[in-house]
Structure 1
Amino acid sequence: MDEAHRVFEGLRRMKATRYSMSEREAWDAFVTDSKNGTFLFQRSYMDYHSDRFTDHSLLFHSDKGQLVAILPANERDETLLSHGGLTYGGVICDASMTTPVMLEVFGALFEYMRATGFSRLVYKTMPHIYHRHSAEEDRYALFRADARLFRRDVLSVIRSDARLPFQKRRSRKVAQAQKLGLVVETSSDLGAFWAILEENLLATHGVKPVHTLEEIELLRSRFPDHIKLHICRENDVVVAGVMMFNSSQVAHVQYISASARGREVGALDLLFATLIERDYATQAYFDFGISNEQDGQILNVGLVEQKEGFGARAVAHDYYELNLA
């Protein structure tokens, strides 16, 4: 690692500093104008679970005092981590970022970590589908630092301008649900969906949703244009639902669940078909999320095949670690 760090020596000086609440306005403005930031990096999203994570986000300024990058992060013992409460992460930057400047950013990052007692970096990248301009300068910097790829998840993604046809099985289930008169609509009734979600997660995996009902209601109230619940109902009964996190070009499936009746009548098939073909047809990408467990080592084949039945295909989401000792 000492040898790898020599790559970053001799670069123009850049300074990394820890984020404080007084910089909230500058932080949020930078995210808004960035080439790879989404609403998840706004402080009103990041800070909702501040009781569970010790925030240690960083800002990077050039030697002229210009803010050139930010890193959403939290600390745990002697490890600095891409923020554990966010789906994706890494260095957020604007369109002026270049590869040499990113090397300077990482040089400042390593200097800061050594000075503040961090011995390990866990770095969560951002899948390219979220980039408004190409933004993989950080991956090159990680390579130059000899960072180790320790996790790779598979997102199932539909590219809207080149959609593949649905599998016949999925189309048959959609037709079944339509014939039974099931209705798809946007809903504000989070409670009915959350009851189905919690029951299924407990029965299948013995866990609860990452967000509590109160947390997701809070986040939706803060980001009503980005967080939406879509349900499928039979008469007046909710039989399936999908919670969507919608950024500028990616419609991301955050939560999926159906009741026993919903699974029987193809409610999720009709729901997904409607979201893909109608509600989010203008988004560049429709992201079903991952089908992995145990740091990407286990693939839930049944789940990924369901997603791929709608024409989704794989996009890699990588995680790296780096020991400074």
Structure 2
Amino acid sequence: MITLKRFMETQSKQWEACIGNSNNGTLFHRRKFLNYHPKDRFEDHSLMAYKKDKLLSVFPAAVKIENGKRLLVSHPGASMGSFVVPVNLSIADAMELGKILVKYTREQSFDGMRITLSPSLYQSRISNYMDFAFFKQGFTYAKRDITSVLFLENNIEKNLQKFRSSHRRAVRKAQESGVVVRRSEDYAAFYNILVQNLSIRHHVAPTHTLKELLEIKNRFPEDVNLFGAYLNNEMLAGAVNFIINEHVVLAFYISHQEKYQEYRSVNLLFYSIFNWAISKGLKIYDFGTFTVDEEPNMGLGRFKENFGASGVFRDTVELNLT
């Protein structure tokens, strides 16, 4: 029998241990990540699932009031959520987790749920047991985004062969122009580029402030890395990458200075990042989503495809309980 209990801060060590020994846990599921947000920003309602008094799974979540309805949702401060489960999760346990989650939310007077699932490729052993369990409980798709993923080979030359010829030429052009790529701690310079780029292209501000980005870096100094493409010591482009588990690295922020586009610094930037990721034994580079409200940004999707990337689902499911 599986039971659900609400998470308490005193259980953080047990929570973190569960993530470390799981099939699908990521940096976004960790309390150290979730807790960088101010305590009054979200009403945390995370859960812990026990089987025979042993911790089986954790479920990061929060309360959200939407259109007068009280919802249990994947933690709004993270890119993804759902149950973090062991590698050997059985179909029976998955079905019971889905069943008791619905029972719990009804008992706690929630009007519904919305859960953002991690891509299946993030798992050590691919399993759709939890997806199946959710749909058996009546969940439906709320949103289906596409994220671009690149499978990393065991050396950079093999990955270079996946590039479109135009992207390979762009890498050479950047190198010949004197552009160099290196890891950087100059988050302020990158953030200035990011702010300008988002303002010009989309008339929006970054999701995170510079202070928040630096706080995340401080909490995960080995897993959060900024790479910059430089010409004469000026940053032309940069990317903040999160190593989210043992085999996946995610591009969290990417930006460049439009006025230096002729140098093709972004192409060399990613070539260098792939080489670094391969050296660390990582297997997948996730460029992030290129869909907004389920509409693809065709130019952005094509740009990522030219590195050899393809699209996989990042799904959000929901259940109405009223």
TM-score by length of 1: 0.92
Q: 2:191 is matched with which residue?
A: 194
4+ residue segments displaced more than 3 Å: 161-164
Cα distance between partner residues in 2 of 1:135 and 1:274:
32
Instruction: Please state if 1:37 is matched with 2:25.
Output: yes
Check whether the contact 1:36–1:135 (CA below 8 A) recurs between aligned residues.
Answer: no
Q: Secondary structure at the match of 1:117?
A: coil
Counterpart code for 2:172 = A
Structure 2 matches for 1:1-325, cutoff 5 A? Answer: 13-49=1-37, 50-62=39-51, 64-77=52-65, 78-161=70-153, 163=159, 165-246=162-243, 247-276=245-274, 278-281=275-278, 282-294=281-293, 296=294, 298-325=295-322
1:256 Cα deviation (Å)? 0.5
**Deviations 1:233-277, CA, capped at 9 Å, x for gaps:** 00111110000001310111111100123322101011011112x
Q: How many residues align?
A: 309
Q: Is the deviation greater in 42-51 or in 157-166?
A: 157-166
Check whether the contact 1:127–1:316 (CA below 8 A) recurs between aligned residues.
Answer: yes
Q: Is the deviation greater in 228-237 or in 88-97?
A: 88-97
Counterpart code for 1:94 = P
Gap runs ≥5 in structure 2: none
Cα distance between partner residues in 1 of 2:169 and 2:125:
39
Q: Secondary structure at the match of 2:35?
A: helix
**Deviations 1:43-95, CA, capped at 9 Å, x for gaps:** 11111114322111111112x21111111111113100011111122110112
Check whether the contact 2:167–2:307 (CA below 8 A) recurs between aligned residues.
Answer: yes
Cα distance between partner residues in 2 of 1:51 and 1:190:
26
Cα distance between partner residues in 2 of 1:260 and 1:160:
28
1:136 Cα deviation (Å)? 2.2
1:186 Cα deviation (Å)? 0.1
Q: 1:8 is matched with which residue?
A: none
Cα distance between partner residues in 1 of 2:260 and 2:246:
31
Q: Check 1:194–1:118 CA distance in 2 against 1; reply closer, same or farther (3 A cut).
A: same
State the Cα RMSD in Å.
1.4
Q: Secondary structure at the match of 1:93?
A: coil
Counterpart code for 2:28 = L
Check whether the contact 1:35–1:135 (CA below 8 A) recurs between aligned residues.
Answer: no
Q: Secondary structure at the match of 1:174?
A: helix
TM-score by length of 2: 0.93
1:39 Cα deviation (Å)? 2.1
Q: 1:7 is matched with which residue?
A: none
Q: Is the deviation greater in 76-85 or in 163-172?
A: 163-172
Check whether the contact 2:28–2:81 (CA below 8 A) recurs between aligned residues.
Answer: no
Cα distance between partner residues in 1 of 2:72 and 2:149:
30
Cα distance between partner residues in 1 of 2:63 and 2:133:
21
Q: Secondary structure at the match of 1:95?
A: coil
Q: Secondary structure at the match of 1:146?
A: coil
Cα distance between partner residues in 2 of 1:117 and 1:222:
35
Counterpart code for 1:101 = D
Q: Secondary structure at the match of 1:48?
A: coil
